[in-house]
Amino acid sequence: MERSFGWLEVDEIAERLAIVFPDRDPFSVRFTELRGMVERLPGFREVAGHPVNEKILETIQVRWHEEREDLADEDD
Protein backbone atom coordinates (compact mmCIF):
# COMPACT_ATOMS: atom_id res chain seq x y z
CA MET A 1 0.00 0.00 0.00
CA GLU A 2 1.26 3.46 -0.89
CA ARG A 3 2.22 5.79 1.95
CA SER A 4 0.02 8.86 2.19
CA PHE A 5 1.29 12.40 2.68
CA GLY A 6 -0.20 15.84 3.28
CA TRP A 7 0.50 19.53 2.71
CA LEU A 8 3.27 19.76 5.30
CA GLU A 9 5.40 17.15 3.54
CA VAL A 10 6.68 19.58 0.94
CA ASP A 11 9.77 17.53 0.07
CA GLU A 12 7.65 14.47 -0.71
CA ILE A 13 5.28 16.58 -2.78
CA ALA A 14 8.17 18.18 -4.70
CA GLU A 15 9.74 14.80 -5.48
CA ARG A 16 6.47 13.42 -6.80
CA LEU A 17 5.75 16.53 -8.88
CA ALA A 18 9.21 16.31 -10.45
CA ILE A 19 8.53 12.71 -11.43
CA VAL A 20 4.93 13.13 -12.59
CA PHE A 21 5.48 16.47 -14.36
CA PRO A 22 9.12 16.40 -15.53
CA ASP A 23 8.62 18.93 -18.33
CA ARG A 24 6.69 21.53 -16.34
CA ASP A 25 8.43 24.66 -15.11
CA PRO A 26 7.33 24.98 -11.47
CA PHE A 27 7.50 28.77 -11.60
CA SER A 28 5.07 28.91 -14.53
CA VAL A 29 2.37 27.09 -12.55
CA ARG A 30 -0.18 29.30 -10.80
CA PHE A 31 -0.95 28.48 -7.19
CA THR A 32 -4.51 27.43 -8.03
CA GLU A 33 -3.22 24.96 -10.61
CA LEU A 34 -0.44 23.76 -8.30
CA ARG A 35 -2.95 23.04 -5.58
CA GLY A 36 -4.98 20.88 -7.94
CA MET A 37 -1.87 19.08 -9.20
CA VAL A 38 -0.86 18.20 -5.64
CA GLU A 39 -4.36 17.12 -4.68
CA ARG A 40 -4.39 14.67 -7.62
CA LEU A 41 -1.04 13.06 -6.75
CA PRO A 42 -1.40 9.41 -5.76
CA GLY A 43 -1.17 9.11 -1.99
CA PHE A 44 -2.06 12.73 -1.21
CA ARG A 45 -4.42 13.09 1.73
CA GLU A 46 -5.44 16.41 3.25
CA VAL A 47 -4.91 16.34 7.01
CA ALA A 48 -7.39 18.10 9.27
CA GLY A 49 -5.79 21.11 10.89
CA HIS A 50 -3.12 21.43 8.20
CA PRO A 51 -4.68 23.46 5.40
CA VAL A 52 -2.70 24.74 2.46
CA ASN A 53 -1.69 28.38 2.21
CA GLU A 54 0.37 30.58 -0.10
CA LYS A 55 3.60 30.02 1.87
CA ILE A 56 3.29 26.24 1.55
CA LEU A 57 2.58 26.46 -2.18
CA GLU A 58 5.55 28.79 -2.66
CA THR A 59 7.81 26.38 -0.76
CA ILE A 60 6.55 23.49 -2.90
CA GLN A 61 7.39 25.46 -6.06
CA VAL A 62 10.94 26.14 -4.88
CA ARG A 63 11.54 22.56 -3.75
CA TRP A 64 10.02 21.19 -6.98
CA HIS A 65 12.39 23.41 -8.97
CA GLU A 66 15.36 22.17 -6.91
CA GLU A 67 14.26 18.56 -7.35
CA ARG A 68 14.07 19.01 -11.14
CA GLU A 69 17.60 20.40 -11.14
CA ASP A 70 18.84 17.45 -9.04
CA LEU A 71 17.22 14.97 -11.41
CA ALA A 72 18.75 16.76 -14.42
CA ASP A 73 22.20 16.62 -12.78
CA GLU A 74 21.77 12.87 -12.23
CA ASP A 75 21.02 12.43 -15.94
CA ASP A 76 24.27 14.15 -16.94
pLDDT tens digits along 2-44 = 689 999 999 999 999 999 999 999 999 999 999 999 999 999 9
Report DSSP letters for 8-55, one per residue.
T-HHHHHHHHHHH-TT--GGGS-HHHHHHHHHTSTTB-PPTT----HH
Q: Average pLDDT in the 65-74 region?
A: 88
Prediction pTM value: 0.89
HSE, CB side, 13 Å, CA atoms: give it for residue 19: 9
* Domains of the chain and CATH, by start: 10-75 (1.10.10.600)
Question: How many residues does the structure list for the chain?
Answer: 76
Question: According to the model, what pLDDT value does residue 76 have?
Answer: 65
Under the banding of pLDDT at 50, 70 and 90, the label for residue 47 is: confident
